[in-house]
Amino acid sequence: MRAQRVNSSSPGICFRMYPQSLYEGGMAEVRCPGVVEANLSHLCFSSRELPLEPALAKALIASCEFDCVSELLTIAAMLTGNAAKKPQNEEAALTHRRPLLHPEGDHLTLINIFNAYIQHNEDEGWCAKNYLNGSALRLAAVIREELLEVMQRIELPVSPPAFGSQDNGNNIKRALISGFFLKVAHDVDGSGNYLLLTHRHVAHLHPFSSYLCRKPLPAPPSWVLYHDFTISHDNCIRTASEIHPHMLVELAPQYYLGNLPASEGRDLLMELRQSLAPPNAQGGREAEGDGQSQDPDQASEPRNQYSTEMCAIQ
């Protein structure tokens, strides 16, 4: 709708707060606004049609570009409910669920669970045996079909399934970053204490995260994208998957890094963006950040100065 209004060629009256002579001879030429050049109407219409939270809708639309629509449909449907029951016998539940865990994180584990559910003909007995919520999985199957119908009706390209390849896994993460770039956390000390870049809260992975349930236990990922953050006695981030910071730098909007609160993670991303920028853009990038030149004495301070502001988690 915004693009339609900006690009409108309907007759009308334009009111300016300056004389026409100043407009014609006293103003420098500027670049045309991007919203005029781009055709945003289809994107806005698509987001409005999808019955999802905005970030998830954006990720699903981005999956059209990255050829992972089938996988994002499953993730979007699975995120609507909690397919994992809270078991009384946690060790038994982990033993049954462990074969379904994906080494790339919780989002891809959701795909494994859904695919296994479909392969077992949506059997309630299989769900109970694996400590999974059959009702939530049935709902996810219905929601997935509805989302697929919406995408076909508004003529969005739907790529065929390609789950299992490394390229497909990276493309899934790219699509997720396109929608959830505000939900990224960085491990500040290598032991699983994650600083949420936008909030400056410190949190842990949920105990049932795939990273904490595999054997042998892998090292915690340095950067994760998460779906939920719960402020509680344990401060957990749920449904987390490892991402590469260069993907975040490439896919997040330009305003994103400059508006992050000061942290070591932000500094690392700014340095990465400068290293990825073309040589002729280096000068402009150096002026970004806090907008001030740093005192040499301050620049020599160790980076772990931010750790003093961390919340204590026992």
- C-alpha closest to that of 66 among 144, 162, 155, 172: 172
pTM to 2 decimal places: 0.75
- DSSP states along 170-238: HHHHHHHHHHHTTSEEEESSSSS-EEETTT--EEEE-TTSHHHHSSSPPPPPSEEEEEEEE-SSS-EEE
d(Cα 250, Cα 55) in Å, to the nearest integer? 17
Q: Which neighbouring-strand residues pair with 228?
A: 238
> Which residues of the chain register pLDDT less than 70?
1-12, 28-47, 85-88, 233, 279-314
pLDDT the model gives residue 41:
45
For the segment 265-305, what is each residue's pLDDT rounded down to a tens digit? Answer: 999 999 999 898 776 655 554 544 444 444 444 444 443 43
pLDDT the model gives residue 145:
95
Buried b (16+ CB within 10 A) or exposed e, 234-270: ebbbbbbbbbbbebbbebbeeebbeebeebbbbebbb
pLDDT the model gives residue 9:
54
